[in-house]
């Protein structure tokens, strides 16, 4: 029997908690042939600035144990081309469109947000204050409580859409950044973006990717991301969108139990573009097995009673 | 046709040399959809060290007596963890196989001729292309270069299809000594501009050289590139290559969906 997987992010109701993570799903339409975009809780498209960006020269990715490091450099078509070329098609397909908003200045975040607020078919704005791969903007804001507050409150004043800053894990106390975002008027927070990382080719003694540094994603980061979601859940009342190495329903449930209202899947979509229906089926199975009707009842339902000792 | 993901079984593993092998995979449905030049993203099911799939040209589409596809093969060369695992694979092993993906070669019909240029493992897209060309009645030639005689494979296959062969090896153990672009360049001097479609696959310096030779002789040229790829579907923007199309500026485009086959004249080589 199909269970109730719906969740609410502020005023936004999603049929299920699965959102395609920004930077891992193109502009959504790339996956039109293999996925029913309307069946996803949401589609968070690639980060957008006011203008087009070329991104970094390749190679842009390298695999590491249970993960990958990327430095794409936010290659993108800019907000105007997105609104004209992509958004109408995403609307046609019934996708709930989250747009990842980028900026090199507070003003640029506001300008991009205004353009998207005037367009038809955007469900929410995810503020990218956490990209580790660009020189200006992004993580500069996300690594400062004042910067985080400044971007969030400026965008808050400029849009009616839900505002969801995406937090970086490259800080000492991520919960204080969730608090700063909530205080500045955020409707939700999403976390985590990638961990700043590097990998060296020992044979050539050179970098494995052109940008030298990149962001680590994939199952390797999942336990740290789960911990961070749980820390934020104890600190703020606004909903949390959790992500970091989710590959299946069990992983998604771990984030939900830790306090995530919704989750994003990124790297796993590269490995298996058909992952979405499998995770949805797994969530449904879990509710069946545990005789529950609503997934939303599991949000933050983590029980801290110590586990029983296991004798092998 | 949209790509599909098949949980394929290894039917056979034919090791051609210490580094090369041909894996037969039970992915008939993928084979039925494949056009020459397209690729699959594969991942051994038991692979734990690495996460991402690897791109491979569909090397052959195996067919039964009625011509119905029964399997595909991939030409593998050991270069890293996944390719090592694929070299060691045994019949019965499971390999996830997503495809077909990417833009295929543009076929040509007589009176045009088709000249294929392969370097090493760059032979991979040309078995299916040679079959398609033979079916269209297009005369074809394969310029095939490798390190040595030991690494020239499937010569009989191409001969049976009536493909003219021009071989070159770096050590001179078979065919002309040196790079395969030298005999290509000489042979093209006798051809009228626009008469010969040149297809190339191999290391990027070779592709750049072939594109230059083709341009100089005013022949059309398609090259199949391989860049470090994440997803194969356009989601990750990892596999970009710089392309200059028409009057616009050169741009990074995704080789998985805009390619892997490109007009050789449009690529801005590193």
Residue A140: the pLDDT is 83
Tell how far CA B107 is from the center of its chain: 14
Distance set, CA A160 to CA A218, A311, B181 (Å): 33, 55, 61
Residue A1: the pLDDT is 72
pLDDT, one tens digit per residue, over B184-235 is 999 999 999 999 999 999 999 999 999 999 999 999 999 999 999 999 999 9
pLDDT, one tens digit per residue, over A22-78 is 999 999 999 999 999 999 999 999 999 999 999 999 999 999 999 999 999 999 999
Give domain status of residue A66, yes or no: yes
String of DSSP letters for A33-102: TTS-GGGSSEEEEEEE-SS-B--PPSP-EEEETTEEEE-----B-HHHHIIIIIHHHHHHTT--EEEEE-
Asked if B5 lies within 8 A of A63 by C-beta distance, the reply is no
Residue B269 pLDDT greater than 90, yes or no: yes
Q: Which of B83, B101, B94 is nearest to B33 (CA)?
A: B101
This prediction's pTM: 0.95
Residue A136: the pLDDT is 66
Give domain status of residue A287, yes or no: yes
Give domain status of residue A195, yes or no: yes
Parent domain of A79: 7-298
When scoring A32, A51, A58 by the number of chain B Cβ atoms within 10 A, the one with the most, hence best to mutate, is: A58
Asked if A55 lies within 8 A of B5 by C-beta distance, the reply is no
Distance CA B116, CA B180 (A): 11
When scoring B231, B257, B258 by the number of chain A Cβ atoms within 10 A, the one with the most, hence best to mutate, is: B231
Please name the residues between 220 and 249 in chain A that touch chain B, using a CB distance below 8 Å.
none
Mean of the pLDDT values across residues B32-50? 93
SS3 A164: strand
List the catalytic residue out of A24, A44, A131, A232.
Answer: A131
Give domain status of residue A309, yes or no: no
The CATH number of whichever domain residue A137 belongs to comes to: 3.20.20.70
- At residue A131 the predicted structure's pLDDT band, cuts being 50, 70 and 90, is confident
The nearest CA of chain A is from the CA of B259 a distance in Å of 14
CA atoms within 13 A on the CB side of A85: 10
Asked if A273 lies within 8 A of B235 by C-beta distance, the reply is yes
Least confident of A17-21, A109-113, A137-141, A176-180: A137-141
Residue A135 pLDDT greater than 70, yes or no: no
Q: What is the mean pLDDT of chain A?
A: 95
Task: Return the ∠ at Cα B267 (arms to B265 and B270), rounded to 5°.
Answer: 130
Greatest distance between any 2 Cα atoms in chain B: 53
Q: Which of A65, A271, A251, A70 is nearest to B44 (CA)?
A: A271
Residue B181: the pLDDT is 96
The nearest CA of chain A is from the CA of B83 a distance in Å of 14
Give domain status of residue A2, yes or no: no
Residue A275 pLDDT greater than 90, yes or no: yes
Give domain status of residue A184, yes or no: yes
Residue A163 pLDDT greater than 70, yes or no: yes
Residue B246 pLDDT greater than 90, yes or no: no
Give domain status of residue A207, yes or no: yes
State the ipTM, two decimals: 0.93
Domain count of chain A?
1
Q: Bigger pLDDT: B49 or B130?
A: B130
- At residue B50 the predicted structure's pLDDT band, cuts being 50, 70 and 90, is confident
- Give chain B's domains with CATH numbers: 4-101 (2.40.30.10), 113-226 (3.40.50.80)
Residue A131 known to be catalytic? yes
pLDDT, one tens digit per residue, over B96-123 is 999 999 999 999 999 999 999 999 999 9
Specify the pairing of strand B176-177 against strand B164-169: parallel
Q: What is the DSSP letter of A28?
A: S
Give domain status of residue A179, yes or no: yes
Residue A216: the pLDDT is 98
Strand A195-197: give its sheet, edge to edge.
Answer: A61-64, A67-70, A214-217, A195-197
């Amino acid at each position: 029997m199909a269970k109730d997987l719906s969740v609410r992010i502020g005023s936004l109701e999603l049929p299920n908690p699965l959102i395609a993570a920004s930077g891992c799903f193109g502009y959504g339409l790339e996956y039109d042939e293999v996925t029913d975009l309307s069946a996803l809780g949401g589609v968070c498209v690639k980060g957008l600035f006011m203008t087009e960006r070329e991104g970094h020269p390749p190679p842009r990715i390298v695999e590491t144990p249970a993960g990958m490091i990327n430095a794409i450099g936010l290659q993108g078509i800019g907000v105007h081309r997105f609104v004209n070329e992509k958004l109408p098609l995403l609307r046609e397909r019934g996708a709930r469109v989250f747009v990842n908003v980028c900026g090199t200045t507070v003003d640029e975040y506001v300008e991009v947000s205004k353009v998207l607020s005037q367009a038809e078919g955007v469900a929410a704005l995810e503020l990218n204050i956490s990209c580790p791969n660009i020189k200006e903007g992004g993580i500069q804001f996300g690594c400062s409580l004042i910067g985080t507050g400044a971007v969030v409150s400026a965008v808050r004043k400029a849009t009616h859409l839900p505002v969801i800053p995406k937090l970086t894990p490259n800080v000492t106390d991520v919960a204080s950044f969730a608090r700063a975002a909530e205080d500045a008027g955020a409707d939700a927070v999403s976390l985590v973006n990638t961990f700043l990382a590097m990998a060296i080719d020992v044979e050539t003694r050179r970098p494995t990717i052109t940008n030298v540094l990149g962001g680590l994603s994939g199952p390797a980061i999942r336990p740290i991301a789960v911990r961070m979601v749980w820390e934020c859940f104890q600190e703020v009342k606004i909903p949390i969108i959790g992500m970091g190495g989710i590959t299946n329903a069990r992983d998604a449930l771990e984030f939900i139990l830790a306090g995530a209202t919704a989750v994003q899947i990124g790297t796993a979509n590269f490995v298996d573009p058909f992952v979405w229906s499998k995770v949805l089926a797994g969530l449904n199975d879990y509710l069946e097995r545990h005789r529950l009707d609503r997934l939303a009842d599991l949000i933050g339902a983590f029980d801290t009673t110590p586990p029983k000792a296991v004798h092998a | 046709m949209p790509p599909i993901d098949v949980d394929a079984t290894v039917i056979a593993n034919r090791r051609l040399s210490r580094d090369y092998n041909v894996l037969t995979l039970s992915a008939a449905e993928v084979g039925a959809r494949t056009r020459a030049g397209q690729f699959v993203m594969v991942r051994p099911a038991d692979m734990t060290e690495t996460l991402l799939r690897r791109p491979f040209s569909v090397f052959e589409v195996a067919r039964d007596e009625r011509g119905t596809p029964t399997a595909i093969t991939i030409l593998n060369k050991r270069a890293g963890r996944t390719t090592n695992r694929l070299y060691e694979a045994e019949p019965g092993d499971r390999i996830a196989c997503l495809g077909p993906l990417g833009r295929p070669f543009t076929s040509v019909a007589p009176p045009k001729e088709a000249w294929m240029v392969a370097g090493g493992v760059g032979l991979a897209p040309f078995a299916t292309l040679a079959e398609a060309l033979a079916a269209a009645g297009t005369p074809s030639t394969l310029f095939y270069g490798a390190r040595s005689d030991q690494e020239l494979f499937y010569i009989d296959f191409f001969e049976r299809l009536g493909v003219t062969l021009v071989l070159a090896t770096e050590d001179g153990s078979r065919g002309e000594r040196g790079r395969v672009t030298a005999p290509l360049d000489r042979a093209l001097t006798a051809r009228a501009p626009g008469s010969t479609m040149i297809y190339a696959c191999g290391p990027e310096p070779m592709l750049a050289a072939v594109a230059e030779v083709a341009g100089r002789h005013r022949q059309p040229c398609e090259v199949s590139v391989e860049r470090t790829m994440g997803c194969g579907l356009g989601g990750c923007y990892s596999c970009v290559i710089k392309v200059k199309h028409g009057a616009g500026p050169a741009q990074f485009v995704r080789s998985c969906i805009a390619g892997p086959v490109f007009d050789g004249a449009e690529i801005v080589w590193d």
